[in-house]
Homo-oligomer: A and B are copies of this chain.
Amino acid sequence: MSKAARTGRRQSGAAMDHVEADGAAMDHAVGHGDALAQREPAPISRRRLIGTAGAAGAAGLIAGGAAGAGVAEAVGTEPTALTTVGSAYIPFEGTRQAGIVQPAQARGHLVAFDLVKGAGRKDAAALLRRWSDAVRTMTAPDRPSAPAAYDDQVAYDAGPASLTVTFGFGRSFFGRTGLDSALPKALAPLPDFAGDRLDAARSNGDLWVQIGADDALVAFHALRVLQKAARDTATARWQMSGFNRTPGTTPRPMTGRNLMGQIDGTNNPKPSDPDFEQRVFVPAHGSPGWMADGSYAVVRRIRMLLDDWDHLTVARQERVIGRRKSDGAPLSGGTEFTPVDLGKFTADGSPAIAGDAHVRVAAAASNGGAAMLRRAFSYHDGIGSDGTPDAGLLFVAWQADPLKGFVPVQRKLDGGDGLSRFLRHESSALFAVPGGAGAGEYVGQRLLEG
Contact = CB atoms under 8 A, between A and B. Distances in A.
A154 B9 CA distance: 35
A24 interface: no
Given A1-B254, A245-B217, A250-B158, A310 B83 contact: no
Nearest to A150: B310
A261 B245 CA distance: 25
Interface in A230-274: 235-236, 238-241, 243-252, 254, 257, 259-261, 263
Residues of A in contact with B, size category:
35 or more
A335 interface: yes
Counting every copy of the chain, the complex holds 2
A85 B154 contact: no
A147 to B, nearest CB: 8
Max chain B C-beta neighbours (<10 A), residue from A240, A248, A254, A337: A248
Nearest to A64: B217
A2 interface: yes
A252 to B, nearest CB: 6
A298 interface: no
A86 interface: yes
A157 to B, nearest CB: 5
A152 to B, nearest CB: 4
Interface in A205-226: 214-218, 220, 224
A380 interface: yes
Nearest to A154: B261
Contact of A249 (B81, B150, B158): B158
Contact of A306 (B224, B248, B250, B252): B224
Given A246-B214, A254-B2, A259-B154, A380 B220 contact: yes
A292 to B, nearest CB: 34
Contacts of A314: 153
Nearest to A8: B251
B216 A257 contact: no
A1 B220 contact: no
A75 B64 contact: no
Max count, chain B CB within 10 A of own CB: residue among A152, A161, A249, A335: A249
A84 B150 CA distance: 36
Interface of A: 1-3, 5, 8-9, 36, 39, 64, 68, 71-72, 74-76, 79-87, 106-107, 150, 152-154, 156-159, 161, 214-218, 220, 224, 227-228, 235-236, 238-241, 243-252, 254, 257, 259-261, 263, 306, 309-310, 314, 325-328, 335-337, 378, 380-383, 387, 389, 391
5 contacts: A82-B82, A83-B248, A107-B243, A153-B325, A217-B259
